[in-house]
Amino acid sequence: CLQRRLDEVQKSTETLSERLDKAREENDELRYQ
């Protein structure tokens, strides 16, 4: 049960970091326009 929760937390953090990377890329593109 605990392991499953850890996996879910890891997945959520991974998706969050992916969203952060995408947001940063979009910010850079907007800045350079």
Amino acid residing at 25: E
Report the distance separating Cα 20 and Cα 13, nearest Å: 10
Calculated CA dihedral for residues 14, 17, 21, 27, nearest 10 degrees: 140
Q: What are the angstrom distances between the C-alpha of 17 and each of 1, 11, 12, 13, 33? A: 25, 10, 9, 6, 25
Place of tokens 């969203």: 19
Please check the confidence at residue 12 and state whether its pLDDT lies above 90: yes
Residue 14: the pLDDT is 93
Question: Confidence band (pLDDT; 50, 70, 90) for 32?
Answer: confident
